[in-house]
Amino acid sequence: MLNNNMEAKREAAVRKIVSEVPDASTYAPVNAAMTRATTLGEGEVAAALKSFSSMPQSTNVFANPVLHQADVECGDTQITLNVRSFGIRGIVSESEIIAKQLSPAHVIFVGLFGRKPQTNEDDIDEEILFSEIIDKKFYEFIEIRRDGLTGNQRLINQVADFVKAFPEAGPEAVIQHFSTLRKLSIPDQKGINTTRESGGLLLELIETHMENVALGTISVFMRHQLRESNALHPQVLAMRANDLIVEHQKNEKTAFQTCYSLLLGREATAVEFFILERMGIIQTHHGSAGSNVVARYLATLHAGAVSDFFVAAQMALDGDRHFGAIHDMTDFINQIEPLASDERETAIRERMLTALPTFGHPEIAAAGRTDEIQQDPRPAIYFNPFLEAVNKGEIKLNDRQKKRLSIMQRIYQIAFIEGIVRPGRENEPPLRLTPNTDFGGWSVQEGLDIYENDRTFLTYIFRGFGWMMDAREQLQLKIIRPVIPPDPEIIPKPTDDMTIANEVVALHNRMAGDEIFDQ
């Protein structure tokens, strides 16, 4: 009876939590400017602003202003890095995530519900409870049966058949295929719209996303198995994936931890869990990124199926001008790896004259000739724990990984520390580019031997929850536009906290020094 009573309290707590929707932002800069222009008699200004009045308001979810400064040495030149850093809902900051090692459930909870998780009056820890919701939706995958091309069978077996038939298909193709089948087998989907009860919609969003995450990571694991032996039968692929998942669940691993093992094709070590989780959690939400814009747009259009919402956002995520930069860097490294050292350096400098993958940024001043440049802190946040693990011998690199990561270190030195001088501008300071998030993402996953085509999927796992935050806000306010101004209330305030700045400086000093990776 006691257990039944506690279970009832837990179910009530779940219903209460998921029904919470944070208040919409009341900050409307366009409307305020229109009113001001009208008051001042500036009719033309007011008319011009009216063109933007259908896209009012701001976001209460995310802001990433410049919060820190850090001075670094680039040869004989001192460069001041203006470091951007984010906060979610003005409640949890990037530095707090790093310093306190906050869990994914904690950060996602804040983004979805606009407050930190607590222990409620029934002594139920909301962070643990929410983590269990996510885990449950993921682990249910191995029991799901659904109609497919070969009849009604477990989804994990259908994934094995698909991977066997298309062994080079990436996780995004698997998700898109099974999302179509999901729509066909569940014809009465309610989709995303303002008439739905918020709690039921959120649970469906989580359920659909975690099923997609399972589809993607399991397919990656199966392709690892096929690369070791391409003669494996689909039933064997399904059995091996099932065994790994069941073992992780029995050992009380979270859904995210199980995903890390599936991405690696084997059980991840404790340090690999830490590196991948830190890298993933920082990507949970990233403001105006293209995939987030698509998520908002699909929510506004009232997508007929939740599946479509995630597929569309994922397609934007993998676009060549978005996280496709990771794939671009892979292609570039593969191109210059066989070259002699001097030829390689020439190729790097020539590529800087067009577009060097994983460096620079289209929306921030991450390139320049002055002594101040903006810096995305994420490459340092991702890469530092990996480098520390390599130094401690906790991660072993093979000769090819060492060579390729050494090339990446040299690219950093040329692009940022040395810079390039364009023809005709020899009397000007060199142009320097700072690394962006993809630099860290590529380097860490190269060092962990994640297969080249799968290096955007960790982002998908976590970014999906950012899309949910956007969708819930979008259903309250129609705020589609590439860059949404944050409500001033959620903009993080500069502090004396040097956590993020120290991460950036530490990585720079490593990359500027002698060869990190012994050849």
Query: What is the per-residue pLDDT across 187-217, written as a single tens digit (0 to 9) for each?
Result: 788 899 999 999 999 999 999 999 999 999 9
Read off the pLDDT of each residue in 83-93 and give the average, rounded to a whole number.
92
Residue 6: what pLDDT?
81
Give the model's confidence band at 401: pLDDT under 50 very low, under 70 low, under 90 confident, else very high: very high
Read off the pLDDT of each residue in 438-447 and give the average, rounded to a whole number.
96
Backbone angles phi, psi at 420, to 5 degrees: -125, 155
Residue 482: what pLDDT?
58
Read off the pLDDT of each residue in 395-410 and give the average, rounded to a whole number.
96
Measure the CA–CA gap between 473 and 479, rounded to whole angstroms: 9
CB atoms within 10 A of CB 144: 12
Helices (H), 2-154: 2-18, 29-39, 43-50, 94-100, 104-113, 126-139
Give the model's confidence band at 9: pLDDT under 50 very low, under 70 low, under 90 confident, else very high: confident
Residue 51: what pLDDT?
75
What would the pLDDT profile of 456-492 be if each residue is shown by its tens digit?
A: 999 999 999 999 999 999 888 877 665 677 888 888 8
Using DSSP, state whether 356 is helix, strand or coil.
coil
Q: How far is CA 502 from CA 97, 124, 324, 477, 506, in A?
A: 15, 37, 29, 38, 6
> Considering the entire predicted model, what is its pTM?
0.93
Backbone angles phi, psi at 356, to 5 degrees: -90, 115
DSSP string, 304-322: S-HHHHHHHHHHHHTSTTT
Judged by average pLDDT, the poorest of 23-32, 291-300, 338-347 is 23-32
Residue 147: what pLDDT?
87
Tokens describing residue 316: 């934007």
- C-alpha closest to that of 172 among 219, 134, 131, 128: 219
**Angle of helix 270-281 versus helix 378-391 axis, rounded to 10:** 170
* Cβ-Cβ contacts under 8 Å for 418 (sequence gap 6 or more): 74, 75, 430
Measure the CA–CA gap between 232 and 240, rounded to whole angstroms: 11
Q: Decide if pLDDT at 55 tops 70.
A: no
Q: Decide if pLDDT at 57 tops 80.
A: no
Measure the CA–CA gap between 146 and 402, rounded to whole angstroms: 45
User: Which tops the pLDDT comparison, 266 or 185?
Assistant: 266
Q: How many CA atoms lie within 13 A of 408 on its CB side?
A: 32
Q: What is the mean pLDDT of the chain?
A: 91
Residue 483: what pLDDT?
65
Using DSSP, state whether 124 is helix, strand or coil.
coil
Measure the CA–CA gap between 134 and 156, rounded to whole angstroms: 19
| Helical (H) or strand (E) element with 78 | strand 77-84
Measure the CA–CA gap between 284 and 93, rounded to whole angstroms: 12
Strands 77-84 and 372-375: parallel
Residue 117: what pLDDT?
97
What would the pLDDT profile of 351-360 be if each residue is shown by its tens digit?
A: 998 889 999 8
Most trustworthy range by pLDDT among 306-320, 385-399, 473-487: 385-399
Residue 56: what pLDDT?
55
The residue with tokens 């200004």 is 45
What would the pLDDT profile of 444-466 be if each residue is shown by its tens digit?
A: 999 999 999 899 999 999 999 99
Measure the CA–CA gap between 183 and 87, rounded to whole angstroms: 36
What would the pLDDT profile of 358-390 be if each residue is shown by its tens digit?
A: 998 877 788 889 999 999 999 999 999 999 999
Measure the CA–CA gap between 207 and 378, rounded to whole angstroms: 29
Using DSSP, state whether 147 is helix, strand or coil.
strand
The residue with tokens 């090339």 is 407
DSSP string, 198-247: HHHHHHHHHHHHHHHHHHHHHHHHHHHHHHH-TT--HHHHHHHHHHHHHH
Q: Is-contact 134 106, C-beta < 8 A?
A: no
Judged by average pLDDT, the poorest of 68-82, 330-344, 357-371, 498-512 is 357-371
Q: How far is CA 44 from CA 32, 101, 102, 189, 270, in A?
A: 16, 51, 50, 47, 62
Give the model's confidence band at 248: pLDDT under 50 very low, under 70 low, under 90 confident, else very high: very high
Measure the CA–CA gap between 40 and 45, rounded to whole angstroms: 10
Burial of 9 (0-12, 13-18, 19+ CB in 10 A): middle
Is the backbone of residue 508 left (phi > 0), alpha (psi -120 to 50) or beta? alpha
Q: Decide if pLDDT at 63 tops 80.
A: yes
Read off the pLDDT of each residue in 274-297 and give the average, rounded to a whole number.
89
Tokens describing residue 267: 């059980």
